[in-house]
Chains A and B, each alone.
Chain A
Amino acid sequence: DTEVTQTPKHLVMGMTNKKSLKCEQHMGHRAMYWYKQKAKKPPELMFVYSYEKLSINESVPSRFSPECPNSSLLNLHLHALQPEDSALYLCASSQSSRGLSYNSPLHFGNGTRLTVT
């Protein structure tokens, strides 16, 4: 079991649907991340929130919209996705807003397996 909880575990959505992925941590971490992982590939960074403010957007298409309502919660709103967006979406948190720069490891949730039909 991980200390970062992601819901739902699985999600199937059509290209016209709107859905949201949720992530929660209660470790007091002030940095939260969204990663996308395709099969047999490493995780790719999408967004970084530091102290509830968006600090990094890795040129992610606007059909992905992150939100950080408070220091424990992170959402990813999905709209008008494409089949190629099907992937494992991983949430992570760390103690430091500078990620590993201050020797702070990432704590990952188990991800949401997203299928876009």
Chain B
Amino acid sequence: SQQGEEDPQALSIQEGENATMNCSYKTSINNLQWYRQNSGRGLVHLILIRSNEREKHSGRLRVTLDTSKKSSSLLITASRAADTASYFCATDPTGGFKTIFGAGTRLFVKA
């Protein structure tokens, strides 16, 4: 069963706007990661946030983690058409040996 659930399932915005995606998970984790997948391609790792961190930045990406609510959010600022992709959160349940992916959010950025 999936560890993470994401919302919204799909998001359509104009270029230059910010995009926020949310992820919820069920069990304790060591860390949470976000990946991007362009259509028909492999997944690309974006950012990792450890369970003892609350916020992390990487370029136009900002990730937050609330372990009390078992949730995370990914903010993409000043979006570009090239940001159009599916975004997945992935968790590592404490003591687990496998990565579990959320359902994903499909982001469309209109030029």
**Are A and B subunits of one complex?**
yes
Q: A99-B92, A100-B31 are in contact. Are A45 and B40 (CB under 8 A)?
A: no
Of the candidate stretches A13-21, A59-67, A72-80, A104-112, the one touching chain B is: A104-112
**Are A45 and B99 closer than 8 Å at their CB atoms?**
yes
Q: A42-B104, A101-B30, A103-B31 are in contact. Are A111 and B41 (CB under 8 A)?
A: yes
- Min CB gap A49→B, angstroms: 12
Q: Range of interface residues on chain B?
A: 20 to 34
**Are A103 and B97 closer than 8 Å at their CB atoms?**
no
**Are A111 and B42 closer than 8 Å at their CB atoms?**
yes
User: Of residues 80 to 100 in B, which have CB atoms within 8 Å of A's CB atoms?
Assistant: 88, 90-92, 95-100
Interface membership of chain B positions 50-66, coded 1 if the CB is closer than 8 angstroms to chain A and 0 otherwise: 10000000000000000
**Are A99 and B102 closer than 8 Å at their CB atoms?**
no
**Are A106 and B43 closer than 8 Å at their CB atoms?**
yes
Tell me if B48 is interfacial: C-beta within 8 Å of chain A. yes
Which residue of B41, B92, B100, B104 is within 8 Å of A101 (Cβ)?
A: B92
Residues of B contacting A: mostly: strand
Give the number of residues in A that approach B within 8 Å (Cβ atoms): 29
**Are B42 and A2 closer than 8 Å at their CB atoms?**
yes
Q: A99-B92, A100-B92, A103-B48 are in contact. Are A90 and B43 (CB under 8 A)?
A: yes
Residues of A near B33 (CB, < 8 A) are 100, 105
A43 to B, closest residue via Cβ? B101
Which residue of B48, B50, B91, B102 is within 8 Å of A105 (Cβ)?
A: B48
What would be 14 A-B contacts, judged by CB atoms less than 8 Å apart? A42-B2, A45-B99, A45-B100, A48-B98, A99-B98, A100-B30, A100-B48, A100-B99, A103-B30, A103-B48, A103-B50, A109-B42, A111-B41, A113-B40
Which residues of chain A have a CB within 8 Å of any CB of chain B?
2, 4, 33, 40-43, 45, 48, 55-56, 58, 88, 90, 92, 97-101, 103, 105-111, 113
